[in-house]
A = this chain, B = another copy of it.
Amino acid sequence: MKRMQTVIGVIGVADASDEEQKIAEQVGREIALGDAILVCGGLGGVMEAACRGAKSAGGITIGIIPGFEKSDANPYVDIPIVTGMSHGRNIIVVRSSHAIVAVGGSYGTLSEIAFALKLGIPVIGINTWEVSSEIKKVATPKEAVELAFTIARHRI
């Protein structure tokens, strides 16, 4: 494993639509194809689809789990980090990423976007919250991940 590999976070809701899951899966796949590590909140919906996509391309996936058990992680998480801190773990997902891709998202996702903007961690958004011009809006998973890599590489 390469030291200080790029780490891309993927955020979005657990109860995602089919369309959101399809997008998230492609995002995860592109992250793995780009040889980055995927970090997420470790549960279902967008998180699970992104991990599934990453694993389909041989990537590595980390899930920052809110609960108490490794088995809370979706089946495509390689390494569950177990916090026991409920939504308090959201900031750890953010801090551990060089850049973040948001796919859709509800209030939990908004808390992560807010932390990322606060901490200066770039956010690329697909159909997500429009709370700041600092969020880079893109239309496709490929664009999202390309932009994430371009920005993240400046931060390593």
Contact = CB atoms under 8 A, between A and B. Distances in A.
Contacts of A131: 110, 129, 131
Given A108-B118, A115-B111, A68 B82 contact: no
Interface in A64-88: 64, 68, 70, 75-88
Interface in A101-154: 106-108, 110-111, 113-115, 117-119, 129, 131-132
B110 A70 contact: no
A87 B84 contact: yes
Size category of the A interface is: 35 or more
A37 interface: yes
A22 interface: no
A96 interface: yes
A114 B118 contact: no
B87 A92 contact: no
Given A1-B60, A82-B95, A85-B88, 12 more contacts: A3-B75, A62-B79, A62-B81, A80-B96, A83-B95, A84-B86, A84-B87, A84-B88, A85-B92, A88-B92, A107-B118, A108-B118
Interface of A: 1-5, 7, 37, 60, 62, 64, 68, 70, 75-88, 91-92, 95-96, 106-108, 110-111, 113-115, 117-119, 129, 131-132
